[in-house]
Chain A
Amino acid sequence: MMRVAEKAKSEGNIKIVEDATCTFCGCLCDDMVLTVDVDAKKITKAKNACVLGKALFLNYEEEDRPFALIGGKEATTAEAVEEAAQILANARFPIIYGMSDTTCETQRKAVGLMDMLGGTIDSTTSVCHGPTGMALQGVGESTATLGEIKNRADLVIYWGGNPAESLPRHFARYAVTAKGMYTPNRKKDRTIVNIDVRHTKSVPVADIFIQVKPGADFELLWALRALVKNRHVDPNIEKKTGVSLKTMKDLVERMKNCRYGVLFFGMGLTMTRGRHFNSAAILSLGSDLNEYTHFIATPMRGHGNVTGADTVVAWQTGYPFGVNFSRGYPKFNPGEFTATDMFVRGDADAGLILASDPGSNFTQAAVDHMKKIPMIVLDPKYTHTAKLARVAFTTAHYGINVPGTAYRSDGVPIELRTCLDSKYPSDEEVITAIYRRVEQLLIAKKRSKGANNKRQKAA
Chain B
Amino acid sequence: MDKTMILVPGRTTKQGVGLIDSKFKKDYREATTTVEINVEDMARLGLEDGCKVKLRSADGVVTVKCTGRRTEDLPPGLMFIAYGPPTSKLMGKDTAASGMPLSKHLEVELKRVS
Contacts and interface: CB of A to CB of B under 8 A. Distances in A.
A324 interface: no
A55 to B, nearest CB: 4
B17 interface: yes
Q: How large is the interface on A (under 10, 10 to 19, 20 to 34, 35 or more residues)?
A: 35 or more
B23 A357 contact: yes
B96 interface: yes
A271 B101 CA distance: 7
B104 interface: yes
Contacts of A59: 20-21
A113 B99 CA distance: 22
A127 B78 contact: no
Contact of A322 (B11, B59, B74, B99): B99
Interface string A185-218: 0000000000001111100000000010011000
B50 interface: no
Residue of B21, B73, B80, B103 with highest tally of chain A CB at under 10 A: B103
B1 interface: no
A418 interface: no
Interface string A16-55: 0000000010000000000000000000000000011001
A201 B105 CA distance: 19
Given A214-B8, A334-B99, 13 more contacts: A24-B20, A55-B20, A122-B99, A165-B16, A198-B80, A199-B74, A200-B10, A267-B104, A272-B102, A273-B102, A340-B100, A367-B88, A384-B23
A271 B103 contact: yes
A424 interface: no
A165 B99 contact: no
10 contacts: A51-B16, A52-B16, A131-B99, A162-B10, A199-B73, A214-B8, A275-B96, A334-B97, A336-B97, A340-B100
A127 to B, nearest CB: 6
B72 to A, nearest CB: 6
Interface in A252-273: 267-268, 270-273
Contacts of A237: none
A363 B99 CA distance: 12
B88 A360 contact: yes
Nearest to A127: B100
Contacts of B88: 360-364, 367
Main secondary structure of the interface of B (DSSP, over half): loop
B114 interface: no
Interface of B: 6, 8, 10-13, 16-17, 20-24, 59-60, 72-75, 78, 80, 83-85, 88-89, 91-93, 95-105
Interface in A313-353: 321-322, 334-336, 338-341, 344
Residue of A51, A199, A200, A271 with highest tally of chain B CB at under 10 A: A271
B93 A340 contact: yes
A198 B74 contact: yes
Given A360-B84, A361-B88, A363-B88, A271 B93 contact: no
B17 A51 contact: yes
A270 B92 CA distance: 15
Contacts of B91: 363-364
A130 B99 contact: yes
A285 B20 CA distance: 36
A341 B95 CA distance: 7
A302 interface: yes
A24 B23 contact: no
B101 A52 contact: no
B93 A365 contact: yes
A340 B99 contact: yes
A411 interface: no
A52 B24 CA distance: 18
B13 A52 contact: yes
Contacts of A340: 93, 95, 99-101
Contact of A55 (B6, B8, B21, B95): B21
Contacts of A162: 10-11
A382 B23 CA distance: 9
4 smallest A-B Cβ distances: which pairs?
A338-B99, A335-B97, A126-B99, A365-B93
B16 A364 contact: no
Contacts of A433: none
A201 B100 CA distance: 26
A134 interface: yes
A344 B93 contact: yes
A367 B101 CA distance: 14
Contacts of A55: 16-17, 20-21
B13 A275 contact: no
Contacts of A268: 104
A267 B20 contact: no
Interface string A205-233: 00000010011000000000000000000
A280 to B, nearest CB: 12
A215 B105 contact: yes
A309 interface: no
